[in-house]
Amino acid sequence: MLLVTGGAGFIGSNVVAALNDAGRSDIVVCDLLGSDGKWRNLAKRQLVDIVPPAELPDWLKGRKLDAVIHLGAISETTATDGDLVIETNFRFSMRLLDWCTANAVPLIYASSAATYGDGAEGFDDDASLPALKKLRPMNLYGWSKQLFDLAVAERVARGERLPPQWSGLKFFNVFGPNEYHKGTMMSVLARRFDDVKAGRVVQLFKSHRDGIADGDQRRDFIYVDDVVRVILWLLATPSVSGLFNVGTGKARSFRELMLAAYAALGTRPNIDYVDMPEQIRGSYQYFTESKVDRLRRAGYNGGFTTLEDAVKAYVADYLDRPDRFR
């Protein structure tokens, strides 16, 4: 069996879908479905079980698994409950790491580009302790992911036991189907698509930094299908361990993202720019761009979808349909 934590979430449910499409139904999801309709992310899937996180330690006793894909986390960059975030994102991950080590089970886990903070130290996925210790995440979520990366790197540096395969993935700005339960953490494209479709004005942030135009704040946007391909490649390549950026390697602007949506619908752009809220101006990232050299050197040659092609696929296959779920 395969265990996918966070399997009812955005990236997790897309991984489960891809595994089903590849003929695997021996999948256990560890997640909380709640009451916000997250179950719809799995409504088309075949599973062995859905286990709440609190019950996972008992469920794991005596189990034999092919691999653990650990994507479950509190992923809101605005989260403020430090105790809950550390328990969920760090301590739970440490327990899974120990279990996978003791039982010789491969562990593929989600880190985050949020560990890079404002990008002052660059976006190089150097997994050495000295390099990781230079990073300064700007929010609680990023810090919780950084703590786990450091814990793994410490074990590597000391030559301690680890799972037979361990791979940490620093996801950049992932977008695609099944992100709809994420509220304000949805991609701008998903949040604003109905406005684009209806011809209503779409608001983007003005720039509050010299030399950067309104709407020209840039992110490394990556389509969720590309992320899934990386994860499935790692599952099929157990000899590869390490910490890897997962982005396209090319930063694009929020304005370009929305213009691609208008182009996909064949409609005229209607974009306005509004002041960024004061409370986030000091911690707002104006630029993220992954370096993907290490992933390529490790043997990954799957390539990445261009922003325009990804937006076109997302709009045509999901957002502009009555059923938006994968």
Which residues are annotated binding-site positions for NADP(+)?
10-11, 31-32, 38, 71-75, 145, 174, 182
Three-state DSSP state, 171: strand
Cβ contact 191:204 at 8 Å: no
- Annotated catalytic residue: which of 182, 197, 291, 312? 182
Cβ contact 304:249 at 8 Å: yes
Nearest Cα residue to 242 out of 129, 162, 170, 166: 166
- With tokens 């089903």, the residue in question is 20
For residue 133, indicate whether it is catalytic.
no
For residue 250, indicate whether it is catalytic.
no
Query: Rounded distance, CA 100 to CA 104, Å?
Result: 6
**Burial letters 7-25, b for 16+ CB under 10 A, else e:** bbbbbbbbbbbbbbeeeee
- Annotated catalytic residue: which of 109, 116, 141, 318? 141
Annotated binding site: 10-11, 31-32, 38, 71-75, 145, 173-174, 182, 184, 205-208, 219, 284
Angle between helices 254-265 and 307-314 (to 10 degrees): 50
Annotated binding site for substrate: 173, 184, 205-208, 219, 284
Which stretches within the chain are classed as H helix? 10-21, 56-60, 82-85, 92-102, 129-133, 140-158, 188-198, 224-236, 254-265, 278-281, 293-297, 307-314
252-253 vs 218-219, strand pairing mode = antiparallel
DSSP class of residue 199 equals T
Query: Rounded distance, CA 135 to CA 124, Å?
Result: 10
Task: Enumerate the active-site residues.
Answer: 141, 182
